[in-house]
């Protein structure tokens, strides 16, 4: 009877506790989960830095393009093949280059601004029509 009681006690104890293999497997699952979560944070930070660069560089390029278009329309900058540097201060290691094409047969000028920073770059392009503006001014002057 005593032997039976000891066997039952031993069975009850083994059912209540975790075995070593169960603990090792649960620690392995936990380690894999934590590692994947932290690697996800790294990817998120890289994507956020890339998005910040894209947003800020596009803003700087658009500002530069609008200034160049205004200068061309007012006559302080000739619409010819040009490559200009930024008129505004930039962050360290950032470079902005503005390219202006010659007008085509329809009077269309292509302006593009390229922002570069180490291994990243963003380019924004726009067009400006000169001939249609002159034609509108001529027709307004003739009708007066």
Residue 123's beta-bridge partner residues? 114
Residue (of 46, 72, 48) closest to 126 by Cα position? 72
**Which residue did the predictor score with more confidence, 3 or 91?**
91
Q: How confident is the model at residue 107 (pLDDT cuts 50, 70, 90)?
A: confident
Q: Per residue in 120-129, pLDDT tens? A: 999 999 999 9
Q: Per residue in 19-76, pLDDT tens? A: 889 999 999 999 999 998 888 888 899 999 999 999 999 999 999 999 999 998 988 8
Q: Per residue in 83-95, pLDDT tens? A: 888 888 888 999 9
pTM metric for this prediction: 0.64
Residue 122's beta-bridge partner residues? 115
Res 109: pLDDT: 92
Place of tokens 């530069």: 64
The backbone torsions φ and ψ at residue 125, rounded to the nearest 5 degrees and listed phi first, read -120, 150
Please report which residue ranges of the chain form alpha helices under DSSP H: 2-16, 20-74, 131-143
What are the structure tokens assigned to 84, written together? Answer: 């200009």
- State the Cα–Cα distance between residues 58 and 64, nearest whole angstrom: 10
Residue (of 78, 81, 87) closest to 99 by Cα position? 81
- Percent of the chain residues past pLDDT 70, beyond the cut: 79
Delimit the domains of the chain by residue range. 2-143
């Amino acid at each position: 009877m005593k032997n039976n009681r000891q066997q039952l006690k031993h069975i009850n104890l083994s059912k209540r506790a975790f075995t070593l293999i169960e603990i090792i497997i649960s620690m392995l699952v936990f380690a894999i989960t934590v590692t994947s979560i932290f690697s996800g944070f790294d990817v998120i930070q890289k994507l956020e830095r890339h998005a910040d660069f894209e947003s800020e560089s596009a803003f700087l390029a658009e500002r530069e393009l609008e200034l160049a278009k205004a200068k061309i329309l007012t006559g302080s900058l000739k619409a010819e093949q040009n490559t200009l540097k930024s008129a505004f201060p930039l962050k360290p290691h950032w470079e902005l280059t503005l390219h202006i094409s010659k007008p085509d047969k329809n009077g269309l000028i292509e302006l593009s601004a390229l922002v570069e920073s180490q291994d990243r770059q963003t380019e924004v392009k726009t067009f400006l029509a000169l001939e249609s503006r002159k034609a509108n001014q001529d027709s307004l002057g003739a009708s007066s």
